[in-house]
Amino acid sequence: MDNILQVRDLAVDFTTDIGITKALNGVSFDVPRGQVTAIVGESGSGKSVTANCVMRLIQPPGRIVSGSIQFSPSQGSPFDIVSLADKDPRLHELRGGLISMVFQEPMTALSPVYTIGNQVAEAILCHRDVGKAVAWQEATEMLIRVGIEDIERRMFMYPFEFSGGMRQRVVIAMALVCNPEVLICDEPTTALDVTIQAEVLTLIRDLQHELGNSVLFITHDLGVVAQLADYVVVMYQGRVLEIGTVRQVLKTPMHPYTQGLLQAIPGLARAGERLATIESVVGDADITTPYPLVKLADGRQVSLPPQSTPGGQESE
């Protein structure tokens, strides 16, 4: 498999007044090139911390304790993002250049005091050796591509004059103008109305098909995973519980936690099945014990307690 990112044994600690929180503990997974990989898990499971590690955005009191993130860009030699020195020029190339990120809240990425046109053009000038006129032109084209209408006028408007959904479209344009090899989306639609959510998801999927970049898509919603992703990584309490293709994981989830997540989605629960909450499925089971990931015959990896070792599972 041609992987653009290989995350191995990643561990992150946060040191706070009440002690050390292990936000990530031995996280390993791959992001295949040109595909959409989703990380799914409930709030607090370590999804954003994982994404921030890839961008090297972990700040004190957080710290990457161990592990590696091998990045293999299409040009140049592969390198480990975790071990780059803070002043390594590759970090600047990485952030917003080779890898860009869309956050949940669009105003995280937008400045309230500059026009939309200026901000998108600036994202280009920051990473590419082109003049202002070219940057402006390309910014215009990308904004049209993400569905901003009445562009001549809107280039000169400010973020507060845009709706939430429009702002997130601008942020997606900003993330894509440098043609990143990896686009990380951290719950990009969670702050939007349901109808707008669907539009933005469709936009991300269409652009990925068109541009062919690798996407790491973070969500707490397996329904979104079903619509969008090729591969899925299920996280819980800072650990990876299950990895597989979306089809495998949604059709035959191996881990009780994944089964719980699936049953909590009304649209995906089978007819007549009682809708279960995550808590009622997982119960008091000690699923945080670091069971090693077991590789199944179909290539999936899953962390299971010994008593529920899979056997006789039907494959695809």
Ligand X SMILES: Nc1ncnc2c1ncn2[C@@H]1O[C@H](COP(=O)(O)OP(=O)(O)O)[C@@H](O)[C@H]1O
Which residues of this protein are in contact with ligand X, per CB under 6 A?
A: 14, 16, 21, 23, 41, 43-49, 61-62
127 Cβ neighbours under 8 A, 6+ residues apart: 93, 96, 97, 178
Nearer to Mg ion, 138 or 187 (CB): 187
Q: How far is the CB of 84 from Mg ion (least distance, A)?
A: 23
Query: Could you say which of Mg ion, ligand X, none residue 46 binds, taking C-beta under 5 to 8 angstroms by partner kind?
Result: ligand X
Nearer to ligand X, 16 or 308 (CB): 16
Say if CB 54 and CB 47 are below 8 A apart: no
Say if CB 192 and CB 164 are below 8 A apart: yes
Instruction: Mark residue 134 as left, alpha or beta (left: phi above 0; alpha: psi -120 to 50; beta: remaining).
Output: alpha
Q: How far is the CB of 138 from ligand X (least distance, A)?
A: 32
Nearer to ligand X, 219 or 301 (CB): 219
Q: How far is the CB of 223 from ligand X (least distance, A)?
A: 17
Query: Could you say which of Mg ion, ligand X, none residue 307 binds, taking C-beta under 5 to 8 angstroms by partner kind?
Result: none
Say if CB 176 and CB 206 are below 8 A apart: no
| DSSP-derived 3-state class of residue 88 | coil
Cα dihedral value 219, 223, 227, 229, nearest 10: 40
Query: Could you say which of ligand X, Mg ion, none residue 21 binds, taking C-beta under 5 to 8 angstroms by partner kind?
Result: ligand X
| DSSP-derived 3-state class of residue 59 | coil
The dihedrals phi and psi of 15, each to the nearest 5 degrees, come to -95, 115
Nearer to Mg ion, 45 or 303 (CB): 45
In this structure, which amino acid lies at residue 169? R
Q: How far is the CB of 62 from ligand X (least distance, A)?
A: 6
Q: How far is the CB of 49 from ligand X (least distance, A)?
A: 3
Nearer to ligand X, 32 or 44 (CB): 44
Query: Could you say which of Mg ion, ligand X, none residue 96 binds, taking C-beta under 5 to 8 angstroms by partner kind?
Result: none
